[in-house]
Amino acid sequence: MLRLISFVAVSVALVMSVAEAATIEFLPPVHLGDTLNSAYHDWGPDISADGLTLYFSSERPPGGSSTGNIWVATRATTEDPFGPPVIVPDVNSLYHDTNPCISDDNLSLYFLSTRSTSGGNADIWRATRNFENDPFGTPALVSEVNSSSDDGGADISADGLTLYFSSNRGNGQGSYDLWQAVRPSVNDPFGEPTNMGSAVNSSSMEGHSSITGDDLTIYLERGGSSTRDIWVATREADTDPFGSPVSLGPTINSSAKDRTPTISSDGTTLIFASQRSGGLGGYDLWMTTAIPEPSTLILLVTGAFGLLTYAWRKRRS
């Protein structure tokens, strides 16, 4: 009897571990429509942890083709479409303010800006507020992570302790690399940024990353001056380095530029910008849903059931 119990436990553990490693398939992306998109460039989305608020960049008026502003749209439930966007007050400037990232508590908004007081061409700024329904305060430079080069495309981990971003500073693998900076608590400054290494970065450009709520899966854009695609890298534990990214393939990526991904906290919804046909103009926002591979789970359960049946019959005989 003890042998059977042990066998069952091992079999169940095997099924669970393999099921967790099952691949995630994406549905074909859908255009988010003319409520969110415009005839201008719309890109750099970031979805809140509860899935009810979407921040993004747009060159629609006010602003224009030479600058970008940060906009926000909301919805009542995750089953509803997002409503008409409004420009985020007190955050935008006369310069390029784009690629927003909202913290999980909805109290800190990180973004890229080229405003004149920046130390480099583009830097990472942060605006904060005390309560979710408050307006954001005056943005401040996140000076400890910026350099004299371009720094942007930031994403903050769910616990607020790790900031991922893209930079073309020195000592990288390519033109732009992904970097990370950590801090001991949300009240402390970030430490010295470190390059995420040759496993994640390449001789191409890596930019605008987005990480899932469990810190185990990171989506990023990769490419060059004429091509951009969305890639994904994973790791077993949040203390491990990420493995080599893999392309999301032709279901998600197109022959046009596909970039600036944001993944929902639970890893089920991916929103990104694309220049593919079917849009309203320039970059538009598109969305896709990730689903487990059902055939893999069915095979795993069927196999485990067969093993358990065999063990039971052996015990009976």
Per-10-residue mean pLDDT of the chain, 317 residues long, equals: 44 42 77 97 97 97 80 97 96 94 98 79 96 96 95 98 97 94 98 97 96 97 91 96 96 96 97 97 94 58 56 56
pLDDT of residue 316: 61
pLDDT of residue 225: 78
Between CA 145 and CA 45 the distance in angstroms is: 22
Domain count, the chain: 2
**154-165 burial code (b ≥16 CB/10 A, e <16):** bbbbbebbbbbb
Do 190 and 309 sit in the same domain of this protein? no
Do 250 and 159 sit in the same domain of this protein? yes
For residue 231, give both structure tokens. 């890639």
Do 1 and 62 sit in the same domain of this protein? no
pLDDT of residue 224: 85
Do 288 and 298 sit in the same domain of this protein? no
Do 119 and 259 sit in the same domain of this protein? yes
Do 191 and 107 sit in the same domain of this protein? yes
Do 163 and 305 sit in the same domain of this protein? no
Do 4 and 48 sit in the same domain of this protein? no
Do 237 and 299 sit in the same domain of this protein? no
User: Domain containing 278 — which CATH number?
Assistant: 2.120.10.30
pLDDT of residue 77: 97
Considering the entire predicted model, what is its pTM? 0.85
Give the type of residue at 45. Answer: P
Do 54 and 5 sit in the same domain of this protein? no
Do 239 and 317 sit in the same domain of this protein? no
Range of the domain at 98: 29-292
Do 203 and 306 sit in the same domain of this protein? no
